[in-house]
Amino acid sequence: MIYLDHAATTPVPRAVADAMYAVLTEQFANPSAQYPMGLEMKKQLAAWRRTIAGALGCDPKALFFTSCGTEGDNWAVRAALWQNRHLGRHIVTTAVEHSAVLEACRWAQQDGCEVTYLTPDAQGNLSAQAVLDAVRPDTALVSIMMVNNELGNVFPIAEIARGLAAKNPKTLLHTDAVQGFLEVPFAARTLGADFVSVSAHKIGGPKGIGALYVGPRVRNPRPLLPGGGQEDGLRSGTEATAQIAGFAKAVELRLSGLEETLARMASLRDYAVEQLSAIPDVQILGGGAPHILALSLAGWPSQNIVNDLGAQGICISAGSACHQGKPSHVVAALKLAKRVSGGVIRLSFGPETTQDDIDQCAAALRRHHDTRMPML
């Protein structure tokens, strides 16, 4: 099998699974328990938090565990609106955010908020100035993703943060960094965002665990889950210790030789662009992050391509995430020609991806082009 869908989820290394297994079978105590085994688990939990916070570039006290990136996104939106409830009820975001942010904003609209959805250009780019121009005196929250999950575009979060500080310093900034964490360089403490959400399963960790960075400008955030007082009383519930252990181990593994790994993935992406651009009707879209490559085989429906390559053991995704023949909200926002938008696919790479994987995928796409009739 050739796996080229790392932006969807990543394989879990054996070392990560072993770390989780040890917690599940041997170190299974509740961190809130007061006997020695529980107290030891509390120490372990603090150590894992330090590891992840170190990679994110923040104080461990500013890092709160969640069940996933979606939870972190929702929490950030709610917390920002709560803190700024007296400032206003206006939100600025983009039309190409992950559904976790878009749906949270739509729920906020039902509660009386006004949302401005910014549309990037045809290549998926969005300037900091476009974001700042949309900010008003009553803007409570700006939520802009760090890396677009379908196109790979990297948005200028630090520049947006600096502009907000000058234009409207009370407006809070959230970035969904699920596709950016340990893929593009940043440190939460210097980025300027007030909330940064991340997820373990995009970097070789298990599903079901993520984290939210909450910056110092967020005062007494409203608890997401009241209850037993875990996570400083902000997100109660017994900690998912096995998943957290796996998250920390995945971070350790990714940090080892990270600079070289990212350079190699960027080189692979460039190589893939070169090989795939040679196929007739291929159009490269977006770009910026080292691990995501979006393209269109214009005229050939993306789901047919995914099915054909899947039958050959090559895993890619329909970047258009077609539903009843309609492109995803991300592709739709680009306002591409129908034959281009309908043929969008996404390849995404990980540390294990090889040049041979790219070669075999390119050969399969060329065969699909040469042997199947265009339908768009």
Q: Which of 3, 20, 4 is nearest to 205 (CA)?
A: 20
Instruction: Give the orientation angle of helix 241-255 with respect to helix 258-277, to 10 degrees.
Output: 80
Residues identified as active-site: 322
H-helix or E-strand containing 176?
strand 172-176
Whether the Cβ atoms of residue 63 and residue 52 lie closer than 8 Å to each other = yes
In degrees, rounded to 5, the angle at the alpha carbon of residue 73 between the alpha carbons of residues 335 and 67 is 130
1 burial type by CB count under 10 A (0-12 exposed, 13-18 middle, 19+ buried): exposed
How far out from the chain centre does Cα 351 lie? Answer: 17
Q: Which of 285, 272, 365 is nearest to 96 (CA)?
A: 285
DSSP secondary structure letters along 343-376:
TEEEEE--TT--HHHHHHHHHHHHHHHHHS----
Whether the Cβ atoms of residue 93 and residue 101 lie closer than 8 Å to each other = yes
